[in-house]
Structure 1
């Protein structure tokens, strides 16, 4: 097999192979969040496929790590230019570059790579922020509750899930990590792993109405333990397994389409919608909304720690009162 340094526009071979990462490399990827791991692995695979026209294997990874700095960064720049020519979005291109940069970092940690990712030569693209963060109105969102049958286990699960997504504006990654032990029905609280906070847990207050819906869902399950997932899959092939972020995404898409919501909905779009509605309810008090969304800088949260629960619960109660079958 030709060395990666020889993979030019006119010198590429095609061989069938399966991607097999080394134990060390896989262990490094396992340190990342599951969604990040999956994304990096896929991006790295496509990077190699562009030059090899086949599935990469561990030998290809080792060869890439063994290149000199100029050749390696030249290949990365060529790949970036290819993505630009394809019309890929800036955020997508930047994710590919981040994955390749991490691949180099892993190689250096394993002492298999002796060069750095040339950030000066291979600049990330400026991302134009998506400005439509309004989501949908509360009246539009309430359509989902008209198509959820709370007389069955699936309906009870989805009902609690949609209430929680709105009233506490949780991210789908946070939802996917919840366990039964994270929920305290007597205190009406939920403990979540916040985005970018490592293993730090944050306790958030629940509206009693939302807590009741979660408890009603758990009442459908038998012999549950604190370590069990709070939300589980109910289909035949995956029954009882943790409902993943992708699973939550699919439920949101499918239910919103069934409800006739015209806008393409995602869990994050619900988060946008809830935050937007909260801004109206708080009459533009961004400090209160930041306590709800947990977007605030940790140092700012410490300053307002005494008032955090009061502000967050106030908005959670107001949001919860606007959705579901018991809405006023």
Structure 2
């Protein structure tokens, strides 16, 4: 994680820090408050910070340990952090994991400075984040393999109508499971064949997604199965005994995809994201390599991401590796 990105995260968190500062002044535990009151990212940092202390103390930290760390001089504090970073690297932690721990410690120092209990700063020049090599597994399945799921979905049942709509939507609009999990009935406009989709993260920004008429008909057929549907109701609900009527969560969508694809005899372990990868790869063929069109479909902010799909589809790396390998390795004949 770059220094700029880390600073951006710390700035975002500062509002959360102010909200818990009052109680901390009355002696409450920083890590406990962090786990209970902060956002998801900060709550995750609490576990990273605990491991940082446990490495040196061989026990779970208490508030006094946090206070003692805040009270160190800059040289001592950053020496401890560097030693912890070296331990993480030596133990085989991935670069992204090491960077997350460092970001958590930066957050801890920022918290202490906000509370006027810490006078030093995280030395980013001395303790550099590790470079992360991004890798995207864009492997998926071909359309003929994916079509097997529709052989095992019984559209005569309510559950079948729901699953039929879901699997059409996953493939044709390459939606993320988090996007589908957020959908309400009011987000679907059958007359215009439009879906209002909310993107990744915590923001409220939405985007208009046009639907193929067959997909819109499938969603409409699913909604007609349900009694007294209100605009604020979830578009897709769970239908198992214990959760019937509740909004399908991301985990619920994952389970539906995994079990249905396994039942259909698809050998590759499937997930909503693998369907998304499959659809994007297929779209590249249909768009004859037009990255701009595929970017609009997938809603990737960075068009370079599409290159990973193109390389995976055409196996450019393997093609060139085979050609290079063919030119070496044979013994050269003796000169006469």
TM over 0.5: same fold? Answer: yes
The answer to whether the 8 Å contact 1:25/1:106 transfers is no
Greater alpha carbon shift after TM alignment, 45-54 vs 202-211: 45-54
Q: CA deviation at 1:292?
A: 0.8
Structure-to-structure mapping, 1:49-198, within 5 angstroms: 49-51=54-56, 64-65=69-70, 67-111=72-116, 113-195=118-200, 198=203
Q: Closer, same or farther in 2 for the Cα pair 1:225/1:166, shift >3 Å?
A: same
Q: CA deviation at 1:203?
A: 0.9
Q: Closer, same or farther in 2 for the Cα pair 1:251/1:78, shift >3 Å?
A: farther
Q: Closer, same or farther in 2 for the Cα pair 1:216/1:262, shift >3 Å?
A: same
The answer to whether the 8 Å contact 2:35/2:46 transfers is no
Q: CA deviation at 1:78?
A: 3.7
The answer to whether the 8 Å contact 1:19/1:55 transfers is no
Matched, 1:270 2:281: no
Q: Closer, same or farther in 2 for the Cα pair 1:133/1:297, shift >3 Å?
A: closer
Q: CA deviation at 1:44?
A: 4.5
* 2:284 aligns with one of 279, 297, 301: 279
Q: CA deviation at 1:209?
A: 1.1
Q: CA deviation at 1:135?
A: 1.8
Q: Closer, same or farther in 2 for the Cα pair 1:38/1:182, shift >3 Å?
A: farther
* 1:28 aligns with one of 38, 59, 71: 38
Q: Partner of 1:12 in structure 2?
A: none
RMSD value, Cα: 3.3
The answer to whether the 8 Å contact 2:36/2:43 transfers is no
Q: Which runs of 5+ in 2 are unaligned?
A: 1-28, 304-336
**1:113-149, CA deviations, whole angstroms, 9 ceiling, x for partnerless residues?**
5444433333332222225413221122222222333
The answer to whether the 8 Å contact 2:173/2:297 transfers is yes
* 1:251 aligns with one of 252, 256, 262: 256
Q: CA deviation at 1:274?
A: 1.1
**1:72-99, CA deviations, whole angstroms, 9 ceiling, x for partnerless residues?**
4444434433333332332333334344
Q: Distance in 1 between matches of 2:66 and 2:238?
A: 36
Q: Distance in 2 between matches of 1:164 and 1:194?
A: 16
Q: Distance in 2 between matches of 1:296 and 1:150?
A: 36
Matched, 1:261 2:230: no
The answer to whether the 8 Å contact 1:233/1:240 transfers is yes
Q: Partner of 2:206 in structure 1?
A: 201
TM-score, normalised via structure 2 length: 0.68
DSSP-derived class of the 1:140 partner? helix
DSSP-derived class of the 1:253 partner? helix
Q: Closer, same or farther in 2 for the Cα pair 1:99/1:145, shift >3 Å?
A: farther
Q: Figure out how many residues of one structure are paired with residues of the other and give that number.
A: 275
Q: Distance in 2 between matches of 1:151 and 1:48?
A: 58
Q: Distance in 2 between matches of 1:41 and 1:240?
A: 34
The answer to whether the 8 Å contact 2:71/2:117 transfers is yes
**1:193-216, CA deviations, whole angstroms, 9 ceiling, x for partnerless residues?**
223582211111111111122222
Q: Which has the higher contact order (CA 8 A, sep 6+)?
A: 1
* 2:230 aligns with one of 209, 216, 225: 225
Larger Rg: 2
Greater alpha carbon shift after TM alignment, 182-191 vs 66-75: 66-75
Q: Distance in 1 between matches of 2:213 and 2:201?
A: 28
Q: Which runs of 5+ in 1 are unaligned?
A: 1-17, 299-328
Greater alpha carbon shift after TM alignment, 126-135 vs 207-216: 126-135
